[in-house]
């Protein structure tokens, strides 16, 4: 007989095809009782998946060495078979007996998860209480999802909202929050649909529908993605940037967008950097849509670590060897262009809309720096400055000028955006990169 947990079984049944799975170590016990976790393997939409679900209705779901051993064995199976891992968290903690035994249990799992990172996709679903070391383990995954009633915290929260799913989403921990177990299971499936089984296999090619509506500047990502495939992630974190997985002609891609007129903050930079590294780990092409006045550079931004976060962003783009396509739809000014879309960022192809502006300074600042003499004697200095800014954007900073200088590969009309991205993906499909031997880069965390 397997682990007698209705909660864990129900959650796994929601995940696996036809609600069926094969349980591993079904008879393992922990201190005279059944181990409070179900470990299983089966199929999710026809693809092999390893999963575990903590059983909060068995001894409160507490973790001990035997329970940890079951999960660690599942990690080992996933590594051997190149199979994604889904962890469903709902536990009241660890056995508290005054010894270091419980610390060792989660420590072994955190180390095993870290070694597995970048080899197979790992998805955490927090469906109940996830505290202490369990929270560290869950947060190590490539994506962490939560249900609305779940709680996530390292130490007991002192505020009523500190452990809420909405707080985790705003902090950039939870990629998405779902109403209940059923919708969360569908969310896990949606992610798995976009991801390869492992770092050596390509993402599955899906059937696709062409977007029904005409391309709109107000919905650029939706216009690039196949109809109904766009999966926004981390929407409540780094709100001047958007990240999403989608398919383009059936191929999985990572889509990143900076919002027009909004400076890139430390949170935005961290959000973009993490997403780029996740896509790169599994060779998912990255398409970056850039329209930004640049990085936030005021005193408050500096206090919140903007420079460190932006250095992380530079490192993530430069180090990534997956396909990288940049699309400039508006302003691409200063260091933001260099870090995200420029040759220094390693972009394989840079596209720009006809009315885009690529320059070391925003047009208004460039006028003051380069054409200040032209402002002298103007009856209305503000109006003259706006006039000169438009002139600068359409001449020295124009997409055409950037193309002439080699900073942009192709200038396109907005209506041609989806086809241009499709053509770029097809051209770059066989991309190969050989790097210098090293242990790893040293991005400033």
CA 276 to CA 255: how far, in whole Å? 9
Cα 377 from Cα 267, distance rounded (Å): 43
- Mean pLDDT, to the nearest integer, of 385-399? 89
Whether 2 has a pLDDT exceeding 60, the answer reads no
Could you give the percent of the chain with pLDDT greater than 70? 97
In angstroms, rounded to a whole number, what is the distance separating the alpha carbons of residues 72 and 110?
Answer: 10
According to CATH, the topology of domain 220-356+398-427 is 2-enoyl-CoA Hydratase; Chain A, domain 1 (3.90.226)
CB atoms within 10 A of CB 377: 8
Q: Bridge partners of 328? A: 290, 352
CA pair distance 337, 356, nearest whole angstrom: 12
Mean of pLDDT over the chain: 91
Sequence-distant (6+) residues with CB within 8 A of 95 are 31, 62, 63, 64, 101, 102
Secondary structure of residue 398 in the 3-state scheme = strand
* 6-194 and 220-356+398-427 in the same fold: yes
Tell me what the mean pLDDT of segment 114-142 comes to. 95
Tokens of 51: 């999963």
CA-to-CA distance for 431 and 419, rounded, in angstroms?
Answer: 19
User: Which of 14-28, 172-186, 352-366, 398-412 is predicted least confidently?
Assistant: 352-366
The helix/strand/coil state of 4 is coil
Average pLDDT over residues 204-214: 91
Task: State yes or no: pLDDT of 157 exceeds 80.
Answer: no
Residue ranges per structural domain of the chain:
6-194, 220-356+398-427
SS3 of residue 41 by DSSP:
strand
Mean pLDDT of 286-313: 85
* Residue corresponding to tokens 């929407």: 235
Q: Rounded to the nearest 10 degrees, what angle do helices 181-194 and 6-15 cross at?
A: 40
- The candidate with the shortest Cα–Cα distance to 416, out of 333, 359, 351, 370, is 351
Backbone angles phi, psi at 381, to 5 degrees: -60, -40
Residue 207 has pLDDT above 80, yes or no: yes
Q: What integer is the mean pLDDT of 294-311?
A: 80
Give the confidence band of 1 by pLDDT, cuts at 50, 70, 90. Answer: very low
Dihedral in degrees, nearest 10, Cα atoms 74, 80, 83, 89: 20
CB 263 within 8 A of CB 292: yes
With left for phi above 0 and alpha for psi between -120 and 50, is residue 40 left, alpha or beta? beta
Task: Please give the pLDDT value at position 278.
Answer: 97
Q: What is the mean pLDDT of residues 112-139?
A: 95
In terms of Cα–Cα distance, which of 423, 415, 426 is closest to 213?
415
- % of the chain at pLDDT higher than 90: 67
For the segment 342-390, what is each residue's pLDDT rounded down to a tens digit? 877 789 999 999 999 998 888 888 888 888 788 887 888 888 888 888 8
What does the pLDDT average to over 268-290? 96
pTM of the model: 0.93
How would residue 95 be classed by pLDDT, with cut points 50, 70 and 90? Answer: low
pLDDT digits (tens, 9 = 90+) for 219-267: 999 999 999 999 999 999 999 999 999 999 999 999 999 999 899 999 9
Residue 339 DSSP one-character state: I
Select 6-194's CATH number: 1.20.120.350, 3.90.226.10, 3.30.70.260, 4.10.780.10.
3.90.226.10
Residue 79 CA: distances (Å) to CA of 17, 22, 116, 136, 211: 22, 18, 7, 20, 38
Tens of pLDDT, residues 39-86: 999 999 999 999 999 999 988 888 888 899 999 999 999 999 999 999
Query: Which segment of 94-108, 218-232, 326-340, 347-361 scores lowest on mean pLDDT?
Result: 94-108
Which pLDDT band holds residue 4 (cuts at 50, 70, 90)?
confident
Retrieve residue 90's tokens.
């709902």
- Do you know the residue count of the chain? 445
């Amino acid at each position: 007989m397997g682990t007698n947990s209705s909660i864990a079984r129900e959650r796994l049944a929601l995940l696996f095809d036809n609600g069926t799975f094969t349980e591993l170590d079904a008879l393992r016990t922990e201190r005279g009782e059944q181990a409070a976790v179900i470990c299983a393997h089966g199929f999710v939409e026809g693809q092999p998946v390893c999963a575990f679900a903590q059983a909060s209705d068995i001894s409160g779901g507490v973790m001990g060495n035997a329970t940890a051993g079951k999960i660690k064995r599942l990690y080992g199976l996933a590594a051997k078979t190149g199979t994604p891992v889904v962890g469903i968290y709902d536990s009241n903690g660890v056995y508290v007996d005054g010894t270091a035994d419980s610390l060792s249990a989660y420590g072994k799992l955190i180390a095993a998860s870290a070694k597995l990172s970048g080899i197979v996709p790992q998805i955490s679903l927090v469906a109940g209480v996830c505290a202490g070391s369990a929270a560290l383990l869950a947060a190590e995954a490539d994506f962490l999802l939560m249900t609305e009633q779940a709680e996530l915290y390292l130490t007991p929260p002192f505020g009523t909202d500190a452990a809420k799913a909405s707080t985790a989403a705003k902090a950039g921990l939870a990629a998405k929050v779902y109403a209940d177990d059923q919708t969360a299971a569908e969310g896990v499936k949606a992610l798995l649909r976009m991801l390869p089984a492992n770092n050596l296999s390509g993402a599955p090619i899906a059937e696709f529908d062409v977007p029904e509506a005409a391309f709109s500047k107000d919905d650029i990502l939706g216009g690039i993605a196949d109809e109904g495939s766009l999966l926004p992630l981390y929407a409540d974190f780094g709100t001047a940037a958007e990240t999403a997985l989608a398919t383009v002609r059936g191929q999985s891609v990572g889509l990143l967008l900076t919002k027009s007129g909004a400076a890139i903050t430390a949170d935005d930079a961290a959000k973009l950097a993490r997403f780029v590294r996740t896509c790169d780990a599994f060779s998912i092409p990255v398409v970056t849509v850039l329209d930004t006045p640049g990085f936030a550079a005021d005193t408050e931004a500096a206090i919140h670590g903007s420079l460190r976060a932006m250095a992380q962003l530079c490192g993530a783009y430069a180090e990534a060897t997956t396909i990288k396509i940049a699309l400039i739809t508006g302003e691409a000014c200063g260091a933001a262009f260099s870090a995200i879309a420029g040759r220094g960022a390693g972009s394989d192809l840079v596209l720009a809309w006809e009315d885009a502006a690529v320059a070391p300074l925003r047009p208004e600042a460039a006028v003051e720096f380069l054409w200040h003499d032209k402002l002298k004697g103007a009856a209305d200095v503000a109006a003259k400055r706006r006039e000169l800014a438009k002139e600068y954007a359409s001449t020295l900073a124009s997409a055409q000028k950037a193309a002439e200088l080699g900073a942009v590969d192709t200038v396109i009309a907005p209506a041609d955006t989806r086809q241009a991205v499709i053509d770029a993906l097809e051209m770059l499909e066989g991309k190969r990169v050989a790097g210098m031997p090293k242990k790893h880069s040293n991005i400033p965390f």
